[in-house]
């Protein structure tokens, strides 16, 4: 949202049903409150959807129910076939659909967070994010490409962390964790220490990634 504001756009959000923390963040970044999704869809030329993966379809349906006919960017961590399904829903209603995926945390610093886009109108949507720290790249004209990249990246970044967690748990249960970590550390390798840090960092917020892993 901050990047789109810097790019010269007015940014609206719907506050109904949202938490006090969400309201505070929206106010901090000077977002305009449309109160309801219906009001937001009636006001805005483009909608950006960023939500838990399991709600991506229902959010799209809620937007379509308002009669929205602009541009819809789905930037959720969803499987490519789900992105295609939502694109078909949007196309049937005359909505321009762009597939997107976000890799990285909140975009406060340049070169830390990337928004990947795909679809015939991906270049148009990229202009929404022309200024600010969020990096944007168009990777193709096919719906599903951006979502596929996110899924493959997450399979490595989060999937391998899950595997390492299971390996450590297994070694602990079998009474050889210290021996395993000693073996990992031979030759001056920092793999054991890096693995511990990685597991601690990710498991503290692992609940947030369950839906993404199901996708």
Per the structure block, which two tokens stand in for 70? Answer: 């602009």
Retrieve residue 136's tokens: 């944007």
What is the rounded end-to-end Cα distance, in angstroms, of the chain? 25
Q: How far apart are CA 77 and CA 146, in angstroms?
A: 10
CA–CA dist 83, 42 (Å, integer): 24
The number of beta carbons lying within 10 Å of the beta carbon of residue 206 is 14
The pLDDT of residue 112 is 85
What is the tens place of the pLDDT at every residue in 25-80?
888 888 999 999 999 999 999 999 999 999 999 999 999 999 999 999 999 999 99
Rounded CA-CA distance 108/88 in Å is 34
207: confidence class by pLDDT, cuts 50, 70, 90: confident
pLDDT class of 7 with cuts at 50, 70, 90: confident
Which tens digit of pLDDT belongs to each residue from 136-190?
A: 999 999 999 999 999 999 999 889 999 999 999 999 999 999 999 999 999 888 9
pLDDT per residue over 92-149, tens digit each? 999 999 999 999 887 777 778 999 999 999 999 999 998 888 999 999 999 999 999 9
> Which pLDDT does position 203 carry in this prediction?
78
Q: What mean pLDDT do residues 1-26 have?
A: 89
**Does the predicted TM-score (pTM) go above 0.85?**
yes
| pLDDT recorded at residue 127 | 94
Domains of the chain (ranges plus CATH)? 2-153 (3.40.50.720), 158-214 (no CATH)
Among positive and negative, which fits the CA dihedral 142, 84, 43, 108?
A: negative
Of 59, 47, 50, the closest CA to residue 22 belongs to 50
Predicted pLDDT of residue 133 = 85
- Residue 32's pLDDT is 93
């Amino acid at each position: 949202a901050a990047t789109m504001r810097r790019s010269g756009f007015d940014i609206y959000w719907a506050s109904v049903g949202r938490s006090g923390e969400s309201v505070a963040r929206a106010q901090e970044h000077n977002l305009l409150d449309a109160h309801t999704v219906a009001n937001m869809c009636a006001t805005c030329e483009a909608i950006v959807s960023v939500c838990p993966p399991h709600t991506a379809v229902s959010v799209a349906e809620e937007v379509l129910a308002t009669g929205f006919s602009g541009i819809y960017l789905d930037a959720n961590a969803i499987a490519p076939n789900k992105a295609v399904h939502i694109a078909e829903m949007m196309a049937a209603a005359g909505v321009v659909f762009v597939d997107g995926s976000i890799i990285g945390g909140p975009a406060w610093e340049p070169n830390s967070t990337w928004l990947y886009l795909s679809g015939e109108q991906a270049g148009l949507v990229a202009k929404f994010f022309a200024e600010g720290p969020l990096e944007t790249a168009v990777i193709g004209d096919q719906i599903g490409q951006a979502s596929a990249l996110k899924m493959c990246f997450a399979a490595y970044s989060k999937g391998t962390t899950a595997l390492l967690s299971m390996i450590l748990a297994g070694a602990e249960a079998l009474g050889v964790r210290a021996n395993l970590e000693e073996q990992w550390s031979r030759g001056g390798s920092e793999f054991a220490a890096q693995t511990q840090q990685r597991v601690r960092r990710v498991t503290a917020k692992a609940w947030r990634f369950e839906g993404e892993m199901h996708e």
